[in-house]
Structure 1
């Protein structure tokens, strides 16, 4: 006699509904799919990517699916009798419904070759259940009235995005032959050949631009360094180059400096006015003249600054909204990763939280179609070494920052440690990781009294 089937825990009643609604699932399709997989290794191979183990509504079916795929992975033939023995040896036979239940399922096979069809049906029902669950969670958040509205909107969008990401079948992302994409590749090569200058956005540092050919859409570029090395200055240099000088819409998310400070630094860098003159208000006639020329350029720039957010979900929501208002958004700068919190659910450790943020940033760069420059703090590793030079491994709470980044640029100034250094006034932009090219050390001149770095040739 078979063990009664157990459904996955479900909440069948929508909040406020007057009647209980049955969750979408098809028990016959689940059994027929498993029966097809029990009798054909080929069916297991065809179906394992079309349906996930947690797509099944019934717990027993999830356990059986896992066991079938495990046999297939190990090169063992599909056979329901051997499957029962496997489950008995692993202590999972009861969880799978028992031997008689598995035998009962094996009798559900109608005809060969129907596995993929049933897999699609099972997967579709699972997506509908997840959509219902996401909707119920969003409804509960709305009724609870807890949290900032931007965070709630971001979490709601994330719920739907998670369902959408899981809705695509493996067939939607199958192997492609060169002929399938050759025309697009040749078009991009032709376009690159006809385009003058860089393929991507310029940084304003000639040698860095020559090395990278510009910052490309979808890239995550990490600029890292110890406190006081000039991370924010480099980031603002790149933002100024694009927003003010090239009129590329640019978003600058600052978690460290208020908007007023950033704008003052912009005026200092663009006008070549000593920052301490601006802060004290003691301006020379030349300073005033330079400022009068710089301010209109800054005012007219498509530079969008936000210094209010502290959670990644809120930052994500703000950037998506900005992209919808300005579809030509070309660059995003976030200063800096380790000051961000996820918002809402908290991972077990800070390292996991930072890892999730950095991997989400990479996905966001691809979604928005822009390069994202994310600043990061280094640990004390450089100060423990005699030459004080930073390494990629010095990323604090690094988690997966190095792995997620397409490029890692480390900032180092010898005169920050040794005032009388023969290299006083110089800064190294160490390209420690470059997914699409070679690494190098780029030397720039540190004009920190103007809140900027420039090419050595400009000094």
Structure 2
């Protein structure tokens, strides 16, 4: 391979013109910030000056002059790199009027080219170091999309423009005189409740195995393609395209699926199957049964299908089988990343994205086995202490839920390992669950469900995967707690497993980082957490449980321990549907439950929730609306906190 050198593309004059404009007229700084960040500048002192001007604008707005700028240069120790003669020279070269936007665009374009160049070099290095072709391709594709997104500027819109567009949409619906304004699923009660599936919606259909998730999804896809003439794509990571099509033919023809598999079909059934196959062939249903699909693959393929085939709805079977674009330290983080990417896909292409999800066994601990939103959440006991970062006042998480008090909490920035303040977006009640008490050597303790993730030296781990002797991250910053342990040296740092598991004090670790000049180790050494040894985990029993929703960092400090944010899937989804068949769990189900499935609308961002009953035919594994189903009363879905009691949950411990 020939080694070659390429000078990084940049435009010094454009960078100087932009910086000069920011100094000459601080009122243009917001225009610059809409497009550029520090890393978009190539020359080092240009980067430094841009960061300083950004800080100055944050602190002073537009009310500053060259005297204040000189003061800031001195305050931040930059006078050796940025002198006033340099500043005055930039002012003379400042871009004005329309020329400023041209200079901004030029700086941004060169920044994008440098990113592509870095990607090219890293690709060559990756070919040598990464033997897995598909893995490397995933990383490259994800990085290209990231670069593309950074080059695309999201513009704001005045509300009058948006209001006008919304009125047009409402007027269109009024003239059509339809109850269902989105994509009809084919289940009338469900469509009346939700008004159909709408563009940009992420729809989660979740259930335990055996409930018929794939069949329910397939019923919706067939109805949209057949009745509404809408092109759809089904990504089937679990079933082959042949298995999926066989199931579709069974649904349409009424021929039992088992008979089809065995080939035991009568002539009349054969005729029905051929007729159903002809019906299906007229539908624009596309199937991709690639077994190992990443969200990056999904995004590229769906974008292409929408452009070339006009696809209007994407179905995914199922969410947990997808791979994130970049591997995370825990499956918990990966599922959260997948969920965010699916929501981004729905918004980007303005189509409904329907993803199946598998619920944990926790559902079956309930006496009625009925799924709830709580099954998508991790949770903590009501007496968990949360400190308001603004006031220092302590509250229990139950108190925050009942009072609706608005607070900011301490949270860990995973990039810097520093404790920061973050607002609480929502406090959620997660139902009555069995909780375990975890105690650490320093004396900290917390009660949580066994699926609640804690931060370990090797990433997030659910409580059920943590053992006595493992280490979890605890807050060191605020407030300071007396260390109860008689062996403070055991409250130690871990260096990542790729460097070998070693114990060392914070002081020694920092000395090592200075010698090795290792930025990652320096971040650890200067962080505001330490890893505390778990000395006990014990079952407490059934308690009311809660959790917080924290934007961006997705974690918070509770009882001075770093714990994970509540379920990401629930946050991202616009519509969450559970499937429940009571007869599945009973040897002799009563007549009113035989052949009946509950379609539970547990969350709808812009509408009511409820439970809808439909027919389920075991022979063909298919769902159908009940006769006169639109006349049925839709049951309410989730009870309030006061409606729960321990007697409602007959758990077998």
Q: TM class, shorter-chain normalised?
A: 0.7 to 0.9
CA apart distance, 1:404: 2.2
Is it true that 1:430 corresponds to 2:617 in the alignment?
A: no
1:447 aligns to what? 617
Aligned counterpart, 1:167: 151
What residue is the counterpart of 1:318 in the other structure?
Answer: 301
Structure 1 residue 333, shift from structure 2 partner: 0.8
**Residue pairs, 1:234-253, within 5 angstroms:** 234-253=216-235
Looking at structure 2, the residues matched to 285 and 458 of structure 1 have their Cα atoms a distance apart, in angstroms, of: 33
Give yes or no for contact 1:46–1:116 (8 Å, CA) kept in 2. Answer: no
> What is the rounded CA distance, in whole Å, between the counterparts of 1:382 and 1:428 in structure 2?
15
1:55 maps to what in 2?
A: 40
Whole-Å separation in 1 of the counterparts to 2:232 and 2:35? 40
Q: 1:224 aligns with which of 175, 183, 206?
A: 206
1:334 CA drift (Å): 0.6
Distance 1:113 1:447, change over 3 A: same
1:189-225 alpha-carbon deviations (Å, 9 max, x no partner): 3332333643222111101111222212332211111
Compare 141-150 and 380-389 and name the one that shifted more: 141-150
Pair 1:381–1:127, CA change in 2 (3 A): farther
The count of residues paired between Structure 1 and Structure 2 equals: 433
The residue that corresponds to 2:579 in the other structure is: 411
Q: CA RMSD in A?
A: 3.5
Q: 89, 103, 108: which one pairs with 1:121? A: 103
- Mapped to 1, the partners of 2:101 and 2:305 lie a distance apart of 40
Secondary structure of the residue that 1:449 maps to in structure 2? coil
- C-alpha offsets along residues 344-370 of structure 1, whole Å, 9 cap, x if unaligned? x32343333223322222232344443
Q: Give the Å deviation of 1:276.
A: 1.9
Aligned partner (choices 172, 176, 201) of residue 191 of structure 1: 172
Q: Deviation at 1:339?
A: 0.5
Q: Contact 1:336–1:375 at 8 Å: present in 2 too?
A: yes
Aligned residue among 379, 383, 390 for 2:364: 383
Provide TM-score, normalisation by structure 2: 0.59
CA distance in 2, matches of 1:458, 1:262: 29
- 1:273 deviation in Å? 1.9
Choose the corresponding residue for 1:302, options 284, 294, 301: 284
Pairing 1:262–2:244 present: yes
What is the TM-score when the length of structure 1 is the normalising length?
0.81
Change (3 A) 1:85 1:432: farther
Task: Tell me: CA distance 1:418–1:49, structure 2 relative to 1, closer, same or farther (3 Å).
Answer: same
1:5 match: none
Query: CA-to-partner distance for each residue in 1:114-166, whole Å, 9 max, x for gaps?
Result: 499547524532332323432563586489496657983x7665544433322
CA distance in 1, matches of 2:209, 2:65: 62
CA separation of 1:262 and 1:117: change in aligned 2, threshold 3 A: same
Bigger mean CA offset, 370-379 vs 52-61: 52-61
Q: Which consecutive residues of structure 2, in runs of 5 or more, have no partner in the other structure?
A: 378-450, 452-565, 630-653
Deviations for 1:226-253, whole angstroms, at most 9, x for unmatched residues? 2222211110110121224444222111
Change (3 A) 1:55 1:393: farther
1:350-409 Cα shifts (integer Å, max 9, x gaps): 333223322222232344443221111223332233333222342389853222222111
The whole-number CA distance in structure 1 between the counterparts of 2:37 and 2:228 is 48
State the match for 2:312 in structure 1. 330
Secondary structure of the residue aligned to 2:599 is strand
Alpha-carbon distance in 1 for matches of 2:317, 2:80:
59
Aligned match of 2:191: 209
Distance 1:387 1:78, change over 3 A: farther
Query: 4, 7, 10: which one pairs with 1:24?
Result: 10
Taking the aligned partners of 2:361 and 2:74, their CA distance within structure 1 comes to 54
CA distance in 1, matches of 2:102, 2:567: 36
1:444 Cα offset (Å): 1.4
Q: Counterparts of 1:392 and 1:207 in 2: how far apart (Å)?
A: 21
Distance in structure 1 (CA, Å) of the matches to 2:109 and 2:254: 57
Q: Which runs of 5+ in 1 are unaligned?
A: 1-14
Question: For the Cα contact (< 8 Å) 1:244–1:303, is it kept in 2?
Answer: no
More strand by share: 2
2:273 counterpart (291, 305, 327): 291
2:17 and 2:103 in contact (8 A); partners too? no
In the alignment, is the contact (CA less than 8 A) between 1:204 and 1:241 conserved in 2? yes
Q: Which of 337, 347, 350 is the matching residue for 1:356? A: 337
Call closer, same or farther: CA 1:16–1:122 in 2, change over 3 Å: farther
Out of 370, 373, 376, the residue aligned to residue 351 of structure 2 is 370
